């Protein structure tokens, strides 16, 4: 079957680029000039956001990755999340920023914040490209949000449906 890109564009590439630069500026402004920042990103959906975000940062940055999944979807109803890949290095004394693609129910992020906070970072903040507040099941703090959206299934800019569409430079609605 021929490949067809989704045409129902929710957020064009230029708007995403502009907003990500603003988020990088806000993050930089919130830390002292000499603070080295450690970005912890969740595979795979956040990889494009992370790439653009760190390239707009005005200071030293280090990166690490983790992967979570999936009892069926990304979490089950009790909020249990399975850790598929842990970080390569510790977080003690570091200024850590979790980078996520989207906060939906909030269960994944609540779990990540809890286990990362237990590792003794100097500070822990969270940046999410997208938030769907109407779907929230747990109250989770997100310090930097790119866009707040309605309850629609979105793809592109790292987000997938069945591993498709991650490469699109814009965000599109699939349903």
Catalytic residues: 104
Q: Is 98 in the site for ligand IMP (CB under 6 A)?
A: no
Please pick, from the candidates 20, 66, 102, 112, the single residue that binds ligand IMP as defined by CB under 6 A: 102
**Closest CA relative to residue 11, chosen from 131, 133, 100:** 131
Contact between 154 and 171 under an 8 Å Cβ cutoff? The reply is: yes
Q: What is the largest CA-CA distance in the chain?
A: 52
Toward ligand IMP, which CB reaches closer, 53 or 75? 75
* Coil, helix or strand at residue 126: strand
Write a three-state SS string for 88-109: CCCCCCCEEEEEEEEECCCHHH
Smallest distance from the beta carbon of 123 to ligand IMP, in angstroms? 22
Smallest distance from the beta carbon of 41 to ligand IMP, in angstroms? 11
Smallest distance from the beta carbon of 32 to ligand IMP, in angstroms? 30
Q: Is 108 in the site for ligand IMP (CB under 6 A)?
A: yes
Residue corresponding to tokens 């510790």 = 90
Toward ligand IMP, which CB reaches closer, 27 or 75? 75
Q: Is 74 in the site for ligand IMP (CB under 6 A)?
A: yes
As given in the structure block, the two tokens for residue 73 are: 């979807």
30-53: burial string, b at 16+ Cβ within 10 Å, e else: eeeeeeebbbbbbbebbbbbbebb
Question: Binding segment for ligand IMP among 23-31, 53-61, 96-104, 119-127 (CB under 6 A)?
Answer: 96-104
The CA distances from residue 71 to 12, 78, 79, 81, in Å, are: 33, 11, 10, 8
Judged by CB under 6 A, the chain residues 30 through 69 that form the site for ligand IMP are 45
Q: Is 11 in the site for ligand IMP (CB under 6 A)?
A: no
Judged by CB under 6 A, the chain residues 114 through 173 that form the site for ligand IMP are 153-155, 159
Q: Is 106 in the site for ligand IMP (CB under 6 A)?
A: yes
- Residue ranges in contact with ligand IMP by CB under 6 A: 45, 74-75, 100-109, 153-155, 159
């Amino acid at each position: 079957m021929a490949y067809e890109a989704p045409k129902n564009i929710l957020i064009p590439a230029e708007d995403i680029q502009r907003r990500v630069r603003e988020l990088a500026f806000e993050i930089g402004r919130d830390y002292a000039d000499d603070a080295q920042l450690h970005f912890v990103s969740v595979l795979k959906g956040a990889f494009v956001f992370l790439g653009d975000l760190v390239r707009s940062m005005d200071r030293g940055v280090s990166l690490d990755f983790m992967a979570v999944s999936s009892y069926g979807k990304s979490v089950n109803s009790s909020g249990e999340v399975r850790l598929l890949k842990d970080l390569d290095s510790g977080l003690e004394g570091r200024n850590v920023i979790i980078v996520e693609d989207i906060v939906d129910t909030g269960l994944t992020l609540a779990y990540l914040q809890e286990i990362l906070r237990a590792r003794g970072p100097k500070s822990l903040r969270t940046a999410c490209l997208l938030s769907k507040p109407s779907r929230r099941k747990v109250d989770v703090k997100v310090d930097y949000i790119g866009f707040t959206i309605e309850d629609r299934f979105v793809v592109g800019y790292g987000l997938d449906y069945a591993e498709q569409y991650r490469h699109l430079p814009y965000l599109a609605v699939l349903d």
